[in-house]
């Protein structure tokens, strides 16, 4: 089985240096793109490969690139920003790639920047990813020294400056437009769309923001072609995906698997199934802002469309397995506490609504819940639906709440009736 | 310009017409729908933060579900189908209020905003009535923000308007938002006086009581008990429109009165907080008299003093009248009538008078047009010659500070980004640098908005101006020998622009500079440009006084020194602020008797033989002419006290009594003064036209000065009588000292407060506009006295100022102006006085004497001053700055060459 993203991973020690990466076939895709292709051809290849954004929304990558105004009169400079601010609770798939093969990311950045003719790129990295930060810093320095970054890369008239920017550490910075504000040194408050960043982005200039995992796929598409890339996947969307599992399983971890494997396969084959003392109660399939799914959904394929059809989202592809010894109310409280804390404070529903939900959940969990609290909780996902809030943070926070209320309403009722947490 | 078209949209199933280029919220409000909102403001645009203006949008007529959208972030497009009253969106809007109310303290009974609170209005509008949140509220610590603004952070609903105004519009840096999630905090990094000169606008921008007027708070009043009338700010020459409020014979606050062409939504802090001179203990409240020079003044009843004055006036001999740039046209004219035109003198020195005459000539003769503040804001290339606008004409500084944003708006339009999409426009155009050039001796607060700043002495600024003019008209003979390096850049930017503007003023005391400004404007006119010209003048009626074409104060001194003056009447003027003390002393000594009519105790009134206290602007009506030549009426906010007459009326009565002229059986009225004035001077012919409701009394009578909620009108005097007193008659204004009268929206000039059903806050203003942020319904007001400049090909002045040769120990002493400190009246307001600097002498850091706090001696106009040095980085070299108007700084004619020496060892 082909595992292009992780093929260079070292089981121990630092990742491949630039020389080793090149020896393993690295930077060939960059060479091909910069010397033998037009920017539009690169985008066309990525388009043919059906690469969809790995940040969670699954937006077709080549389409995003195509929104950037090109041509002589187009605004300059243009920017590529790489979102490596992986702060979604339970997500760690970008970290694996950043630490495991930094040159793969840098090569992807050079090719993607070439495709949109950006001259400046930023990697916006999560604050506590210190190992990844160090490794990327080293790799970037190597790439500059080798002339793969900077002026006239490979003797062409393409220039690219790449900066590594460490986030100040708020979840909202991972939101595409808040990330841009953060980079500009402003409060990381999301921006309204339209205008979309590919047209008006960083410092008012065209900017594409791609997830780190997305970018890592790009060299392989250029190198091996879109047909090969699509064939990696079990779905029409191309490629492999880093899936991860956390929770009370035998072997938590992350694996590169074909896009579209089932949850059952990931949990049972790769994570070794649940520990013997517990039973599966639910799955949080793609990080904290995706809807809980009960065990009867295990055979659903983990790809963008199938997960959506099942009422959840692929999200980051990092599963959280929830067992029968875990209180669902407590779980939701924990998640909502995170979202309430990480609200940027810009729009009313998120800023004021999430803390209220947290207080209600806390009351229920502590045995102070009232029957009318449940009515109020049930109304919240409707009030904080997408579009009602300024950005997707609060609607994302509603996903675990709403699904918990759908599948596990009895748990809430028991808390209220028994005036205590039955799991404590 | 933006191209808009009228399109059809559907609101709750009915078709309406709306303008494209606007957002849906503006369109709904303009159509009269009550759509609640917080973060949107006509002057701030949309950012979509509060989520209060949610409406439902439908794809087409078959769409039953629809989706909730924010009206403020949705452009008006043809065929748009929305619902404002859909149950789901009603619930959502109520939920937004419910969320905002979670932490709001509900302290309306003790909140100064109560009764005019946008949050109260919106809460009622959404129908949220029942509180279901049962947990603790989060609380904040409040900050000390200075003498103007009271901070009550717990009331905050996080609409972000304050920081958007303060940082984006006022250019302030020291107010920001801190923290995140439900702990965002709006304040300074630590307690301290807000730095912005426009901080007072926070009071009106804030939709609730987070930022309130500290002076109003100290007066302890409920806003519905304020009696208000349309007024004009008396603290600079721009003529901003204000709404002062009175209770119990005291002015208790000043609010902005929207004028689409002048101040728009904003006032400066001097204009807003300077009002307390009206309540000051420096007010003259009793008539004073001394029969002989060498005895002390003693109190006297007004009737008696009036008779003494009449006797004095009946003496044979010359009566001289000294007018004032801070008194109304009518009062000045009444004085002129009393003493005769030949004996009427403008109360300003020869130098200032010459400058004002020059300004008048330039603006009346053209060819450049005098433009308003808001027109200045739409300029695309501006050259400021000599004025530190933030200190001398603050609202103009505020307007020009927005030029960068205007440029961003223009650029954004090219990529179909609508002007109302505030955050996106600012993102997109954040690198837009406006063609704003500033040439002053000292750094100014407006510099941060400018493309290029030049630091130069006044004569060098004039030379720069001439160089620009020469650059614009290459054939001109007066091209200076050494062309200024920057002149080509400036000239090119002006020549390239569509709406160039030249700003200058009298504050540096340099006629050559004002002439140079006029020359540039003229050169641009010859290039076929529609050029605007603004000449800032120091006081609220400086331009009006200049139009009365009187002689100057120096001539009065001269005449008195010839011993030909029997009585001098000084109207609302402190001569010691105009001329050197020895000159004034000598003048007052020479005059047979000195009669002072003023509202403040001044050094001049202390030397007078007769002192008659007169009403301030708050208790009389009149007309003021601002720097652009716009005559504007102000109306008494509350009736004049019986013992403190209105100046114009007193002067007419004196004339009637002394000379038996006029209509002694009738009480003099303002309208007669205006009529006479309009006959005497062609430039004032427009003033003969009476106010709309005086010409045609409206049904229901005069416009009430008191609100519908005015309470306790009988209780005020209950200790005397339980009967309701008859409202005082006001013969001068179409306004009543009453809560009854004309109902509905009065003509725009006569709006006494903003109110509409359901809208009690200042936000109700949008109900008086056909579109939010646009002109008031009923059109513009205030009569432009010299609107149309003749197209005559007048000649250039082309007067190169004489070069100044500074000797080693010499500096060129130039005047510096302070918003808080340089103006006479506002310094009697404690809050303003608190922020005034102590006297100092500003020196460039490279000056050999530049050491902070060192005492230096300088001799100027035969006076020796000892001042502490203030090191001012950026001050032009070879220049020393003297702050004008501060206590301890004498009146001297500047610029002047002075010798500086170290003070005695201290």
User: In the predicted model, what is the mean pLDDT of residues B31-55?
Assistant: 97
Three-state DSSP at B414 gives helix
Confidence of residue B794 (pLDDT cuts 50, 70, 90): low
Listed in sequence order, the DSSP H helices in B548-646 are 553-561, 581-590, 603-606
Residues B331 and B376 in one domain: no
A74-A76-A80 Cα angle (round to 5): 105
Q: How far apart (Å, rounded) are the C-alpha atoms in residues A189 and A29?
A: 36
Q: How far apart (Å, rounded) are the C-alpha atoms in residues B31 and B84?
A: 12
- Which residue, A182, A214, A166, A191, is CA-closest to A57? A214
The pLDDT value recorded for residue B346 is: 94
CB contact at 8 A, A417 and A364: no
User: In the predicted model, what is the mean pLDDT of residues A317-322?
Assistant: 96
Q: How far apart (Å, rounded) are the C-alpha atoms in residues B147 and B22?
A: 39
CB contact at 8 A, B245 and B252: yes
The pLDDT value recorded for residue B696 is: 57
Residue span of the structural domain in which B423 resides: 364-539
CATH number of domain containing B478: 3.40.228.10
B180 contacts chain A (CB < 8 A): yes
Structure tokens at B250: 């005291």
Last residue of a domain, one of B77, B101, B125: B101
Residues B495 and B580 in one domain: no
Task: Answer whether residue B383 is part of any domain.
Answer: yes
Residues B874 and B829 in one domain: yes
Task: Answer whether residue B652 is part of any domain.
Answer: yes
The pLDDT value recorded for residue B792 is: 55
Q: How far apart (Å, rounded) are the C-alpha atoms in residues B361 and B519?
A: 13
Q: How far apart (Å, rounded) are the C-alpha atoms in residues B201 and B149?
A: 10
**A356 with B102: Cβ contact below 8 A:** yes
Contacts of A372 in chain B (CB under 8 A): 132
Q: How far apart (Å, rounded) are the C-alpha atoms in residues A5 and A97?
A: 8
Contacts of A182 in chain B (CB under 8 A): none
Model confidence pLDDT, tens digit, residues B86-140: 999 999 999 999 999 999 999 999 999 999 999 999 999 999 999 999 999 999 9
β-sheet bridge partners, residue B864: B859
The pLDDT value recorded for residue B800 is: 77
The pLDDT value recorded for residue A394 is: 97
Which backbone phi and psi does B454 adopt, to 5 degrees? -120, 130
Q: How far apart (Å, rounded) are the C-alpha atoms in residues B689 and A42?
A: 74
Residues B378 and B516 in one domain: yes
Q: How far apart (Å, rounded) are the C-alpha atoms in residues B872 and B857?
A: 18
CATH number of domain containing B828: 2.40.40.20
The pLDDT value recorded for residue B662 is: 57
Q: Does the structure show a pLDDT above 70 at A83?
A: yes
| Whole-structure pTM value | 0.96
% of chain B exceeding 90 in pLDDT:
79
Task: List all residues 6 or more positions away from B42 whose beta carbon is below 8 Å from its beta carbon.
Answer: B26, B265, B766, B772, B773
% of chain B exceeding 70 in pLDDT:
95
Q: How far apart (Å, rounded) are the C-alpha atoms in residues B308 and B331?
A: 21
Residue of A186, A346, A355 to mutate when probing chain B, most B C-beta within 10 A? A346
Residues B564 and B637 in one domain: yes
User: What topology is assigned to A328-418 in CATH?
Assistant: de novo design (two linked rop proteins) (1.20.1440)
Q: How far apart (Å, rounded) are the C-alpha atoms in residues B379 and B33?
A: 34
Structure tokens at B172: 């302030």
Contacts of B168 in chain A (CB under 8 A): none
The pLDDT value recorded for residue B478 is: 52
Task: List all residues 6 or more positions away from B129 whose beta carbon is below 8 Å from its beta carbon.
Answer: none
> Chain A residues with CB-CB distance to B under 8 A?
170, 187, 191-192, 194-195, 199-200, 203-204, 340-349, 351-356, 359, 363, 372, 376, 383, 385, 387-390
CATH class of A4-231: alpha beta
Nearest residue, CB atoms, A195 vs list B103, B177, B424? B424
The pLDDT value recorded for residue B667 is: 78
Model confidence pLDDT, tens digit, residues B818-838: 999 999 999 999 999 999 999
Contacts of A168 in chain B (CB under 8 A): none
DSSP-assigned letter for residue B862 = T
Tell me the three-class secondary structure of B837-848, residue by residue: CCCCEEECCCCC
Q: Before A194, cis peptide (omega within 30)?
A: yes
DSSP-assigned letter for residue B434 = P
The pLDDT value recorded for residue B190 is: 97
Nearest residue, CB atoms, B180 vs list A195, A345, A387? A345
Three-state DSSP at B698 gives coil
Cα B804 to chain centroid distance, Å, stands at 35
Model confidence pLDDT, tens digit, residues B353-363: 999 999 998 88
**B181 with A340: Cβ contact below 8 A:** yes
Q: How far apart (Å, rounded) are the C-alpha atoms in residues A139 and B363?
A: 68
User: In the predicted model, what is the mean pLDDT of residues B732-759?
Assistant: 91
Lowest-pLDDT choice from A323-332, B413-422, B705-714:
B705-714
Model confidence pLDDT, tens digit, residues B201-228: 999 999 999 999 999 999 989 999 999 9
Q: How far apart (Å, rounded) are the C-alpha atoms in residues B615 and B730?
A: 14
Confidence of residue B726 (pLDDT cuts 50, 70, 90): confident
The pLDDT value recorded for residue B606 is: 96
Last residue of a domain, one of B61, B78, B101: B101
Within this chain, domains A4-231 and A328-418 share the same CATH topology = no
User: In the predicted model, what is the mean pLDDT of residues A393-403?
Assistant: 97
Residues B519 and B561 in one domain: no
**B95 with A389: Cβ contact below 8 A:** no
Residues B532 and B426 in one domain: yes
Tally of domains in chain B: 4
% of chain A exceeding 70 in pLDDT:
100
Contacts of B52 in chain A (CB under 8 A): 348
Instruction: Please provide the average confidence, as pLDDT, over all residues in chain A.
Output: 96
The pLDDT value recorded for residue A26 is: 96
Q: How far apart (Å, rounded) are the C-alpha atoms in residues B456 and B439?
A: 7
Cα B903 to chain centroid distance, Å, stands at 39
The pLDDT value recorded for residue B906 is: 47
Model confidence pLDDT, tens digit, residues A340-364: 999 999 999 999 999 999 999 999 9
Task: Mark residue A147 as left, alpha or beta (left: phi above 0; alpha: psi -120 to 50; beta: remaining).
Answer: left
Q: Does the structure show a pLDDT above 60 at B398?
A: yes
Residues B304 and B401 in one domain: no
Model confidence pLDDT, tens digit, residues B769-785: 999 999 999 888 888 88
**B49 with A376: Cβ contact below 8 A:** no
Residues B432 and B377 in one domain: yes
Global ipTM: 0.96
CB contact at 8 A, A220 and A4: yes
The pLDDT value recorded for residue B691 is: 63
CB contact at 8 A, B755 and B714: no
Instruction: Please provide the average confidence, as pLDDT, over all residues in chain B.
Output: 92
A5-A11-A17 Cα angle (round to 5): 65
β-sheet bridge partners, residue B612: B597
Q: Does the structure show a pLDDT above 80 at B376?
A: yes
Q: Does the structure show a pLDDT above 80 at B1?
A: no
Q: Does the structure show a pLDDT above 60 at B845?
A: yes
Which backbone phi and psi does B43 adopt, to 5 degrees? -90, -10
Nearest residue, CB atoms, B92 vs list A170, A195, A383? A383
Model confidence pLDDT, tens digit, residues A87-97: 999 899 999 99
Q: How far apart (Å, rounded) are the C-alpha atoms in residues A188 and A180?
A: 8
Q: Does the structure show a pLDDT above 60 at B482?
A: no
CA distances from A235 to A6, A230, A301, B391 (A): 20, 8, 9, 69
Question: How far apart are the CA of B152 and the nearest CA of chain A, in angstroms?
Answer: 19
Residues B502 and B637 in one domain: no
Q: Does the structure show a pLDDT above 80 at B796?
A: no
Count of alpha carbons within 13 Å of B30, Cβ hemisphere only?
Answer: 23
User: In the predicted model, what is the mean pLDDT of residues B370-389?
Assistant: 96
DSSP conformation letters of B312-328: HHHSSS-EEEE--TTS-
Q: What H or E segment, with its residue span, contains residue A182?
A: helix A176-183
Q: Does the structure show a pLDDT above 60 at B481?
A: no
- Kindly state the greatest CA–CA separation across chain B: 94
Q: How far apart (Å, rounded) are the C-alpha atoms in residues A336 and A330?
A: 10
CB atoms within 10 A of CB A161: 15
CB atoms within 10 A of CB A206: 25
Task: Answer whether residue B668 is part of any domain.
Answer: yes
Contacts of B132 in chain A (CB under 8 A): 372, 376
Task: Answer whether residue B884 is part of any domain.
Answer: yes
Nearest CA in chain A to B185: A345
- Which residue, A57, A342, A406, A359, is CA-closest to A190? A342
A240-323 classified as CATH 3.40.50.880: no
B103-B105-B110 Cα angle (round to 5): 160
Nearest residue, CB atoms, A359 vs list B91, B135, B180? B135
Contacts of B55 in chain A (CB under 8 A): none
- Kindly state the greatest CA–CA separation across chain A: 73
Task: List all residues 6 or more positions away from A337 whose beta carbon is below 8 Å from its beta carbon.
Answer: A358
Residues B344 and B482 in one domain: no
Q: Any idea where the domains of chain A sit in the sequence?
A: 4-231, 240-323, 328-418
Residues B525 and B548 in one domain: no
The pLDDT value recorded for residue B892 is: 87
Three-state DSSP at B870 gives strand
Last residue of a domain, one of B101, B132, B154: B101
Model confidence pLDDT, tens digit, residues A287-302: 999 999 999 999 999 9
CATH number of domain containing B40: 3.10.20.740
The pLDDT value recorded for residue B363 is: 87
Confidence of residue B860 (pLDDT cuts 50, 70, 90): confident
Confidence of residue B692 (pLDDT cuts 50, 70, 90): low
Three-state DSSP at B454 gives strand
**B51 with A347: Cβ contact below 8 A:** yes
- Which residue, A85, A90, A127, is CA-closest to A289? A90
Which comes out higher in pLDDT, residue B722 or A102?
A: A102
Q: Which residue has the tokens 């850091």?
A: B845
Nearest CA in chain A to B99: A352
């Amino acid at each position: 089985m082909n595992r292009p993203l992780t093929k260079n991973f070292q089981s121990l020690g630092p990742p491949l240096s630039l020389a080793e990466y090149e020896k393993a076939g690295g930077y060939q895709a960059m060479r091909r793109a910069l010397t033998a292709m037009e920017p539009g051809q690169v985008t066309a290849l990525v388009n043919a490969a059906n690469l969809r954004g790995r940040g969670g929304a699954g937006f077709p990558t080549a389409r995003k690139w195509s929104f950037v105004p090109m041509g002589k009169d187009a605004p300059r400079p243009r920017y590529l920003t790489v979102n490596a601010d992986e702060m979604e609770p339970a997500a760690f798939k970008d970290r694996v790639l950043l630490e495991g093969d930094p040159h793969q990311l840098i090569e992807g950045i050079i090719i993607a920047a070439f495709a949109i003719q950006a001259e400046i790129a930023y990697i916006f990295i999560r604050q506590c990813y210190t190992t990844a930060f160090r490794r990327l810093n080293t790799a970037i320095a190597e790439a500059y020294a080798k002339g793969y970054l900077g002026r006239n890369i490979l003797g062409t008239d393409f220039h690219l400056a790449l900066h590594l920017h460490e986030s100040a550490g708020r979840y909202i910075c991972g939101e595409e437009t808040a990330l841009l504000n953060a980079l500009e040194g402003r409060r990381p408050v999301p921006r309204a769309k339209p205008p979309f960043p590919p047209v008006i982005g960083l410092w008012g200039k065209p900017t594409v923001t791609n997830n780190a995992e997305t970018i890592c796929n790009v060299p392989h598409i250029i190198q091996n072609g879109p047909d090969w890339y699509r064939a990696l996947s079990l779905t029409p969307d191309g490629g492999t995906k880093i899936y991860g599992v956390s929770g009370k399983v035998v072997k938590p971890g992350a694996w590169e698997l074909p896009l579209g494997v089932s949850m059952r396969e990931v949990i049972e084959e790769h994570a070794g199934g649940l520990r013997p003392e517990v039973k599966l109660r639910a799955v949080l399939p793609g990080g904290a802002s995706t809807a809980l799914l009960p065990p009867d959904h295990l055979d659903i394929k983990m790809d963008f469309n199938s997960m959506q059809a099942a009422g959840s989202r692929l999200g980051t592809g990092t599963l959280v397995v929830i067992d029968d010894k875990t209180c669902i109310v407590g779980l939701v409280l924990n998640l909502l506490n995170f979202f309430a804390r990480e609200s940027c404070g810009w729009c009313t529903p998120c800023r004021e609504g999430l803390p209220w939900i947290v207080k209600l959940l806390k009351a229920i969990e502590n045995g102070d819940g009232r029957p009318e609290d449940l009515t109020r909780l049930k109304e919240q996902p409707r009030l904080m639906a997408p579009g009602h809030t300024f950005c997707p943070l609060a609607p994302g926070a509603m996903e675990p709440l709403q699904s918990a209320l759908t599948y596990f309403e009895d748990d809430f009722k028991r808390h209220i009736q028994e005036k205590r947490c039955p799991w404590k | 310009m933006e191209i808009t078209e009228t399109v059809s949209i559907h609101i709750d199933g009915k078709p309406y017409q709306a303008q494209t280029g606007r957002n849906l919220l503006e369109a709904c409000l303009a159509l009269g729908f009550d759509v609640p909102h917080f973060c949107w403001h006509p002057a701030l645009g949309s950012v979509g933060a509060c989520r209060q203006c949610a409406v439902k949008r439908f794809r087409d007529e078959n769409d039953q579900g629809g989706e909730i959208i924010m009206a403020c972030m949705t452009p008006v497009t043809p065929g748009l189908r929305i619902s404002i009253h859909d149950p789901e969106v009603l619930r959502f809007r109520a939920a937004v209020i419910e969320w905002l109310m979670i932490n709001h303290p509900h302290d309306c009974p003790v909140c100064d905003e109560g009764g005019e609170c946008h949050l109260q209005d919106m809460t009622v509008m959404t129908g949220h009535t029942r509180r279901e949140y049962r947990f603790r509220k989060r609380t904040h610590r409040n900050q000390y923000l200075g003498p103007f603004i009271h901070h009550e952070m717990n009331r905050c609903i996080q609409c972000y308007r304050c920081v958007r105004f303060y940082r984006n519009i006022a250019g302030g840096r020291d107010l920001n938002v801190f923290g995140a999630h439900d702990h965002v905090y709006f304040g300074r990094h630590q307690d301290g006086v807000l730095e912005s000169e426009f901080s007072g606008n926070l009071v009106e921008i804030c939709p609730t009581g987070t930022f309130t007027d500290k002076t109003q708070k100290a007066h302890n009043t409920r806003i519905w008990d304020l009696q208000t009338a349309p007024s004009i700010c008396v603290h600079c020459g721009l003529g901003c429109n204000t709404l002062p409020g009175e209770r119990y014979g005291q002015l208790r606050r000043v609010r902005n009165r929207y004028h689409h062409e002048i101040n728009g939504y904003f006032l400066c802090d001097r204009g807003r907080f300077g009002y307390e001179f009206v309540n000051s203990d420096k007010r003259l409240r009793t008539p004073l008299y001394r029969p002989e020079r060498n005895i002390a003044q003693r109190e006297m009843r007004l009737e008696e003093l009036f008779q003494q004055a009449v006797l004095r006036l009946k003496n044979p001999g010359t009566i001289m009248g000294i007018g004032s740039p801070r008194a109304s046209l009518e009062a000045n004219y009444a004085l002129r009538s009393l003493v005769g035109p030949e004996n009427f003198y403008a109360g300003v020195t020869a130098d200032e008078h010459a400058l004002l005459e020059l300004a008048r000539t330039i603006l009346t003769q053209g060819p450049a047009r005098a433009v308003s503040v808001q027109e200045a804001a739409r300029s695309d290339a501006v050259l400021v010659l000599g004025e530190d606008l933030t200190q001398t004409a603050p609202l103009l500084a505020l307007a020009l500070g927005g030029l960068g944003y205007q440029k961003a708006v223009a650029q954004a339009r090219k990529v179909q980004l609508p002007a109302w999409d505030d955050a996106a426009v600012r993102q997109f155009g954040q690198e837009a640098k406006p063609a704003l050039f500033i040439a002053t001796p000292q750094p100014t607060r407006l510099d941060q908005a400018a493309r290029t700043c030049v630091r130069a002495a006044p004569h060098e600024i004039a030379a720069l101006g001439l160089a620009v003019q020469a650059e614009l008209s290459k054939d001109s003979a007066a091209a200076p020998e050494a062309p200024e390096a920057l002149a080509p850049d400036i000239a090119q930017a002006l020549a390239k622009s569509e709406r160039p503007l030249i700003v200058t003023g009298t504050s540096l005391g340099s006629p050559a500079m004002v002439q140079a400004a006029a020359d540039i404007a003229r050169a641009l006119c010859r290039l076929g440009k529609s050029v605007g010209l603004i000449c800032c003048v120091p006081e609220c009626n400086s331009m009006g006084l200049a139009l009365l074409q009187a002689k100057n104060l120096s001539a009065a001194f001269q005449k008195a020194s010839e011993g030909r003056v029997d009585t001098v009447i000084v109207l609302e003027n402190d001569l010691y602020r105009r001329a050197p003390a020895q000159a004034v002393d000598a003048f007052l000594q020479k005059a047979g008797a000195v009669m002072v009519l003023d509202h403040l105790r001044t050094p001049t009134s202390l030397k007078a033989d007769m002192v008659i206290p007169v009403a301030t602007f708050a208790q009389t009506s009149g007309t003021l002419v601002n720097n652009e030549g716009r005559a504007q009426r102000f109306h008494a906010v509350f009736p004049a006290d019986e013992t403190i007459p209105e100046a114009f009326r007193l002067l007419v009565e004196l004339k009637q009594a002394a000379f038996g002229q006029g209509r002694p059986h009738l009480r003099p009225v303002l309208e007669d003064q205006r009529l006479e004035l309009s006959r005497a001077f062609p430039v004032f012919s427009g003033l003969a036209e009476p106010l709309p409701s005086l010409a045609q009394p409206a049904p229901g009578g005069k416009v009430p000065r008191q609100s519908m909620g005015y309470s306790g009108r009988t209780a005020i005097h209950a200790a005397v009588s339980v009967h309701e007193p008859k409202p005082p008659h006001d013969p001068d204004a179409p306004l009543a000292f009453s809560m009854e009268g004309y109902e509905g929206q009065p003509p725009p000039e006569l709006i006494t407060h903003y109110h509409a059903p359901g809208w009690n806050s200042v936000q109700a203003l949008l109900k008086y506009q056909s579109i939010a942020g646009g002109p008031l319904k009923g059109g513009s007001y205030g009569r432009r006295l010299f609107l149309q400049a003749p197209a005559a090909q007048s000649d250039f002045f082309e007067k190169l100022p004489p070069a100044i040769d500074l000797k080693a120990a010499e500096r060129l002493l130039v005047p510096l102006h302070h918003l808080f400190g340089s103006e006479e009246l506002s310094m009697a307001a404690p809050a303003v006085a608190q922020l005034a600097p102590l006297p100092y002498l500003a020196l460039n850091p490279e000056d050999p004497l530049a050491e902070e706090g060192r005492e230096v001696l300088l001799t100027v106009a035969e006076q020796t001053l000892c001042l502490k040095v203030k090191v001012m980085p950026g001050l032009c070299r070879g220049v020393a700055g003297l702050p004008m108007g501060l206590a301890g700084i004498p009146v001297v004619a500047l610029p002047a060459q002075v010798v500086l020496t170290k003070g005695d060892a201290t």
